[in-house]
Amino acid sequence: MRFAAFSFLCAVAPASAESFAIAPGPDAESALQEALILAQPGDEVVLAAGRFDIKNQLSLDNPEVTLRGAGMDASVLSFKGQTGGAEGLLVTGDDAVLKDFAVEDTKGDAIKAKDVNGIAFIRVRAEWTNGPDAGNGAYGLYPVSSTNVLIDGAVVKGASDAGIYVGQSQKIIVRNSRAAFNVAGLEIENCYYADVYDNVLTDNTGGLLVFDLPALPQQGGHDIRFFRNQSFANNTKNFAPEGNIVGLVPAGTGMLVMANSDVEVFDNDFHDNRGVGIIIASYVKDTEDPNYDINPRRVHVHDNHFRANGHDPDDSEFGGLLRELFGERVPQIVWDGVMPIWRYLTVGQAADRQHSLHDNDMGDELPYGNADFIGKFGLTWLHGVSFDASEHAATLAPLAPVQVIIRGRDVSHKGAWAEIDK
């Protein structure tokens, strides 16, 4: 059904559209790049089954071009031994559709899409076949500074930063995808309006991450929904290169929400993450950005399922801190407790910034902990962890679903494909 559902992405091309067929062989790289240059709106570039040895970065600049293969395990672009370029494939043309092929062993990021309106990654695999390694590329699928982003049915393994990463973008859907053996499985950073659902995150350092970082052209990330995801057994030792912000994520993190506002997390399964189920945290480094808000606001966590998280934090800086504060039974949800000092000492969080935690299935686990980082690292004589989740009882309305438009078609709601195929 999913294969048929996406058939419209080829069918919408005009009758005069051209198809460029590319087969493996010694001239495949030059033939493929030439086809990507010549292809016009509505054309498709078709990869035959087989392995393509690519030495230089590929680029796609023209709009409304489809690059498709015979399947993510059948048509493989291998960049092992890459000598030219910073990525495997760089897309700068609007409304590109990438489907049914794999990119392996790039020197840098596997597939990057930058400054585009409309990009679809459909059943695409990005992988570093040597397994977790700091020398691997940072990102697997990497749309950035873009609008109308769809990632559906993807698989990413081995990224030294984030497997599936969407940064500084708007109107995003990531669904039906799997990320394993990355530092961050799936990360949404400095984005507006994203729906992340029906994904599987396992064997990463951290499963789901949503960050907002300072000193970037787009910040103040908001309106991000995570639902029906499975984040489990994300216990791979952090292998990010030194200095990367994601290098602070402790192994065994089911989800980390940092400095974002208006994040809704519901109907997800978090289990067997040794460090913690969910951390709600503030930005941890110094910043001189006067427009940046270091604290998360209005995080709504409800109707999720938690089991066997937090039973064995690692020995990293933050993993060790979790163990120090909570022992060997870390609560399923941990808040760092950070807020302006004057509020900490007087009235607590402002009403319009408060979080909401409710109706989560914790079984016999310890549900919630306030780590009180202000007391721990500043007002030490006042420090004390607490376990009363009623401090997060704000009334927060559900966030609205996200609409994504690719080539003029709504690809977001459940019935979209049937309507288009009529």
**How many of the other CB atoms lie within 10 Å of CB of 171?**
21
Structure tokens at 148: 């109308």
Phi, psi of 374 (to 5 degrees): -65, -45
Residues 81, 371: Cα–Cα separation, whole Å: 46
Phi, psi of 32 (to 5 degrees): -65, -45
Q: What angle do CA 146, 91, 121 make, to 5 degrees?
A: 75
How many residues would you count in the chain?
422
pLDDT of residue 416: 56
pLDDT of residue 418: 40
pLDDT of residue 11: 43
**Residue 11 buriedness (CB in 10 A; 0-12 / 13-18 / 19+):** exposed
pLDDT of residue 15: 52
Residues 293, 140: Cα–Cα separation, whole Å: 28
Residue type, 231: S
Residues 356, 360: Cα–Cα separation, whole Å: 11
> Under DSSP, is residue 98 helix (H, G, I), strand (E, B) or coil?
strand
Q: What is the pLDDT along the chain (422 residues), one digit of tens a residue?
A: 333 333 444 444 445 789 999 999 999 999 999 999 999 999 999 999 999 999 999 999 999 999 999 999 999 999 999 999 999 999 999 999 999 999 999 999 999 999 999 999 999 999 999 999 999 999 999 999 999 999 999 999 999 999 999 999 999 999 999 999 999 999 999 999 999 999 999 999 999 999 999 999 999 999 999 999 999 999 999 999 998 999 999 999 999 999 999 999 999 999 999 999 999 999 988 999 999 999 999 999 999 999 999 999 999 999 999 999 999 899 999 999 999 999 999 999 999 999 999 999 999 999 999 999 999 998 989 899 999 999 999 999 999 999 999 999 999 976 554 443 33
Residues 275, 214: Cα–Cα separation, whole Å: 26
pLDDT of residue 241: 96
pLDDT of residue 60: 98
DSSP strand E in 160-319: where?
162-167, 170-175, 178-180, 184-189, 192-197, 200-202, 206-211, 222-227, 230-232, 253-258, 261-266, 269-271, 276-281, 297-302, 305-307
pLDDT of residue 6: 39
Q: In CATH, what class is 108-412? A: mainly beta
pLDDT of residue 420: 38
Taking the model in full, what pTM does it have? Answer: 0.94
Where along the chain do its domains lie?
Answer: 108-412
Cβ–Cβ under 8 Å, residues 157 and 136 = no
pLDDT of residue 69: 98
